[in-house]
Every structure is written in C-alpha cells, then in structure tokens.
Structure 1
C-alpha cells in the first residue's frame, strides 16, 4: 500500500484550501455595493503614474510581495508598531514607497462606499491598472478578498533575492502553488522595473575566482553596467542603478529579448534564459508578445488567488495602514 508523507498530505491540503478560497472571489463582487470601484482606483493610479514614473513598478512589486508572503491580504500595507516590525519595513520592501497611492484610493472609496472595499482588492486592481495603462494586457480582477490582521518583517525573508538561481526560484514558486510558467511569466513584470547597483554588483565586480564579471552577460553590456556603478558618486548614491528593460515605461516583451541577448541585469533574470527548464518560455515570449500578454494575465489572476481571506479570517480595513 502506498504511504504518503505528512509533508505531501499537508501540501495537497494547502492547495485544496487555496482553491476553495479562490472560488469565493468574483469579478462582479462590488457590482451592487460599490459599482464605481474600478473607475475610482484607475483614476487615482493614472494620476499617480503621470506624476511619478516609478509608481507602476512599485505597485506591481507591492502586489507580488503582498501575495507571496501571507497571501493577498494587504499585510504589506500595515504600519509597524512599538512591539512589531511590519512587512513594509522588511529589507525587500524598503524601496516600494508607493503606499500613498493605495491610501489615496482607499480614502476616495471610503467616501463613495464606506467599509466595503478591502485594501487587498485595491492592490490587485491597481496592479492590473498600472500594467494596462503602460500598454499591457487587461484582465478581469477577481474581487472579494478580506484584509489580514498580521504583518511581520521577518517573513519577507522568504521572498526571492536577486542572487537566486533557477532551481531556487522554481522551488520557491512551487511552494506557493505556482509553476515554472508562472515564474517566467510573472518575471516579465520587470519590463517596468529598475534595479539599484547593489542588487547586481556581484555580477560586475569580482564575480568569482576566474572572472571579474559574470561570463553569462554580454561583455559590452557588462562594461556598461560597471561604468554606470563605478564612479564614487554612484557608489555613494542609493538611487543609482539601471533599468531592467530598455523601454522601461512601456509594458512589452523587450525584457525577454534582452535575456536572449544576454543583457539581463539581475542574476535571477538571466538565470531564466540560462536554464533548460525555463529557456524555451523566455524565447517564446521574446518572439510572441501576444502570447506573453495572455499568459501574464492568467498568472496574475493565479497569483491573486494565493492565501485569500474570507470574512471569517479577515476584515475590510477603514484605513489600509492599520487594523480596525
């Protein structure tokens, strides 16, 4: 008789619970209670994007970082207290800084339909909007998430780091119920991204005992990055870095084209092209932008289903920075 390990049984149970919770979500969830919810959020996001070009990548990272830690429960928005350091103050989230966009959308929604729209749903809708406003796909966001009441900075250490190889990335995504296709597809969000020199300096300076720069990088591109980060001004400037895509304000498939050309900025990005398990997906998306758009929308919906709270385990916060 086949004997299943406790770990396997727990994994299957966790997936079934996640799927059950996901079924509670509905794209028409606020149709009666707050019919203008998407218009209100889109207006706030659009205005914020026009005044700050860093808003789109920060909102996208916010959605990913929120869902990946405790599930899509807006725990990333909670402020730290005297006795608890919250997720937003964890090292991976220090550079998000677009919380004010969610705060503004929430304030407008509280006037239009008080105590109705969760902060978790606002993040999910805002993430879709920054993609679409930048020329990317549009998808129907499933809604009905409830906001969590717990946020711990130490749990952000479970997020992927810029030094992860493909094996570590695949294992990490698998633990969340996300497959290899989701890994490669969601990484395409970096088409709107920017990276600080500190996140890729190990690739361009003293890479290992044999190479000063990562040999998987195009040599001319590696020299460009090295020059960009080499001056004393840039070494002392926390904002210095390089865009992850040559069309950084447009959501397109240029990110994948650059990986094929060995011009990925982060080690985690280039690893997707260097590994046989992910390479064919990178090449497919580099060739067919429409395919990337379809798959990205599907993976964003899947990501948005992680760890969804119902009304028994969450709440609708009046202000996104604090529990009620």
Structure 2
C-alpha cells in the first residue's frame, strides 16, 4: 500500500470511527427493552409532575455543554471536584429524583449495563414526544464520567445574555446558530423562576426603562404573576405543557420570557431572525431541525469504549471495583 493510499485509508478510519462511536443498536443484546423502560418511567413522571419532561431535557442539555455528554451534571461532589450542581448555571435545577427512578427501573432489568448519560439522552427524547413533540432514534454508547467541572457549569448559557455570547458558547461545543434557535425551542414547555426575567420589567440594563423588546401587555401579566423571585411562570403563555412551535410565534410577538429567548428574534440584522421566522412558519420545520440538533448535541464529546464507567447510582461514582455506587461527599 502506497503512502498516500495508506494516508487516505487512515483518514477514512478516523472519520468512520468518530461518527460510529454512538449507535442505535448499542444495547440490542444487553438491554433490548431499554427504550420501553425509560418511556414508561418518563410517562409516569409526567403524570404526577407536568414539569418532569422539561426538567429531564434541561439535565441532558446542561450535561452535554460541560465536558461532553457524560452524566457529570448528576454527580454530587465527586472526589477532588465541586459538583456541577453547585455551578451558577445549575442553581435551582430539579429532577434528580426522576433520573433516580428511571435508573432504578433500568438497573432492575439490566444491572450495570446502561449509563446515566444514555438514560438522559433517551429520557429527553421521550419527554418531548410524550408531550406532543417529534420523535427520533436515540444513539447510545456514552459512558459516565468519574469527574465533574463546576467551572464549566458556571459558564453555561445564561438567561441574561445577548446573542453574541450565546452564539459563542454554542460554537465552542460545535453547534451553530440554527442549533441555537432549534434547541432554544425546548422552552416551548416548562417553567422559569421570576428571578431570571424580572430584571426586564424596569431599569433594564440600567436604562431606567423596561426591556423594549418585551410586549408591554405581556410584561404587565408577568409582573402580576411574579409574587416573588422564586415564583415559576410558564415559558409559553399559550400552550405551556405542549411541545409545539408556539415558542417561536411568541418571539414574533415579543413574548419571549427570557432575555436569551427574545434576543434570537429582536437582535437587528442577526442570522437568527430568519431562522426564528422559519421555525414559526411551520411546525414540521421546527420538529425536523430539533431532531437533528438534539442528535448533534448528544454527540458532543461522549466517553466511549473503556473511558469512564457505567454508574450504578447516577449521583455517585462507582467503587474502584466497579460494582456499586458510593457516596463521595
């Protein structure tokens, strides 16, 4: 084999390996009923807590944006590191008990086989399609990290940010502006605490005035609803518990709840403006792109092969023997 031919062969092997590390059939032999188990538990959680789906997809998002999709967001103070749960971007994050219940159900049938990172990916898909959104084939094969990165969690995309820093944070993990707009569409369901958007009501950015991109009537409704900073308000005032394209029609009407939502449409000359218009025009356009962007996000720097571990308890790293989770606080 000539040197140039060998080089091409080597490049092809690298290319195939990088895209084949996560596969649809990873658990086909070891845990074939995984999708059914997770979906059952997600539906059960949503029946008792309508916010469960939004909580689960937030965990997957915050996991993948900090050192890749490795379950690190779920760790409670692993050795030598401070938990990502203590990071600024995760303050108030909820739903660990839902992840625990899903993991326990999976462990009963397939002990020591399925990673917490893969459970987050599957649960996010189920959270979306159970509440009316698109479905997609989840790729598996992620392993769980034995470390966390609080600094990374401090730097997660913020609800107070303008468009350029948001775009940079997405670019830094290999996601573009279309991915930013599509993935932000997850705010079509769920709730936000008033402390994350009440700064838009008056003296916005030191102007002495409300945020001009917030519809005045909607602002008054929000002010009445916000009886305190911890009060939770629907992201979508129209269909708050359904996964649909109304997130984008709300942006067109200056009814994006967070500053980081509305800037996608209200930043003059930004490429995101037309993307928002496209998503708002047809629900299937949003659904199709959301599927693609979720799969792309789920492939951010996964641990595979012999890297990391398969945690028995999503909140704790395994003992060195790899058999049981232990409390590391």
Same fold (TM over 0.5): yes
Moved more, 90-99 or 139-148: 90-99
1:80-99 matches, within 5 Å, as: 80=77, 84-99=81-96
SS at structure 2 position matched to 1:195: strand
Q: Report the number of matched residues.
A: 303
Change (3 A) 1:82 1:113: closer
Task: Give the alignment partner of residue 216 of structure 2, picking from 216, 219, 222.
Answer: 219
- Deviation of 1:286 (Å): 0.8
Moved more, 291-300 or 109-118: 109-118
SS at structure 1 position matched to 2:54: helix
- Deviation of 1:85 (Å): 2.1
Task: Give the alignment partner of residue 258 of structure 1, picking from 250, 253, 257.
Answer: 250
Superposed CA deviations along residues 19-66 of structure 1, whole A, max 9, x for unmatched, are 844421111111111110110111111101100111111111100000
User: What residue is the counterpart of 2:141 in the other structure?
Assistant: 144
Given that 2:55 and 2:94 are in contact with CA atoms closer than 8 Å, whether structure 1 keeps it comes out as yes
Task: Give the alignment partner of residue 47 of structure 1, picking from 40, 44, 47.
Answer: 44
Name the CA distance, whole Å, in 2 between partners of 1:17 and 1:261.
47
User: What residue is the counterpart of 2:161 in the other structure?
Assistant: 164
Given that 1:116 and 1:316 are in contact with CA atoms closer than 8 Å, whether structure 2 keeps it comes out as yes
SS at structure 1 position matched to 2:143: coil
- Deviation of 1:108 (Å): 1.8
User: What residue is the counterpart of 1:241 in the other structure?
Assistant: 232
Given that 1:146 and 1:310 are in contact with CA atoms closer than 8 Å, whether structure 2 keeps it comes out as yes
Given that 1:145 and 1:308 are in contact with CA atoms closer than 8 Å, whether structure 2 keeps it comes out as yes
Change (3 A) 1:17 1:96: farther
SS at structure 2 position matched to 1:70: coil
Task: Give the alignment partner of residue 273 of structure 1, picking from 240, 265, 268.
Answer: 265
Alignment TM-score, normalising by the size of structure 2: 0.88
Moved more, 93-102 or 48-57: 93-102
1:178 equivalent in alignment to 2:175: yes
Task: Give the alignment partner of residue 109 of structure 1, picking from 89, 106, 111.
Answer: 106
Given that 1:115 and 1:316 are in contact with CA atoms closer than 8 Å, whether structure 2 keeps it comes out as yes
Name the CA distance, whole Å, in 1 between partners of 2:178 and 2:128.
19
Given that 2:100 and 2:314 are in contact with CA atoms closer than 8 Å, whether structure 1 keeps it comes out as yes
- Deviation of 1:221 (Å): 1.1
Name the CA distance, whole Å, in 1 between partners of 2:103 and 2:255.
39
Given that 1:59 and 1:96 are in contact with CA atoms closer than 8 Å, whether structure 2 keeps it comes out as no
Given that 1:21 and 1:310 are in contact with CA atoms closer than 8 Å, whether structure 2 keeps it comes out as no
Question: Structure 1: where are the runs of 5+ without partners?
Answer: 1-15
Name the CA distance, whole Å, in 2 between partners of 1:212 and 1:309.
47
SS at structure 1 position matched to 2:295: helix
Moved more, 193-202 or 220-229: 220-229
Name the CA distance, whole Å, in 2 between partners of 1:183 and 1:114.
36
User: What residue is the counterpart of 2:310 in the other structure?
Assistant: 316
Question: Structure 2: where are the runs of 5+ without partners?
Answer: 1-12, 319-329
SS at structure 1 position matched to 2:233: strand
Alignment TM-score, normalising by the size of structure 1: 0.89
Change (3 A) 1:179 1:209: closer
- Deviation of 1:153 (Å): 2.2
Name the CA distance, whole Å, in 2 between partners of 1:43 and 1:18.
36
- Deviation of 1:82 (Å): 7.6
Name the CA distance, whole Å, in 1 between partners of 2:286 and 2:299.
20
Superposed CA deviations along residues 67-89 of structure 1, whole A, max 9, x for unmatched, are 00110000011112585420122
Name the CA distance, whole Å, in 2 between partners of 1:269 and 1:74.
26
User: What residue is the counterpart of 1:203 in the other structure?
Assistant: 200
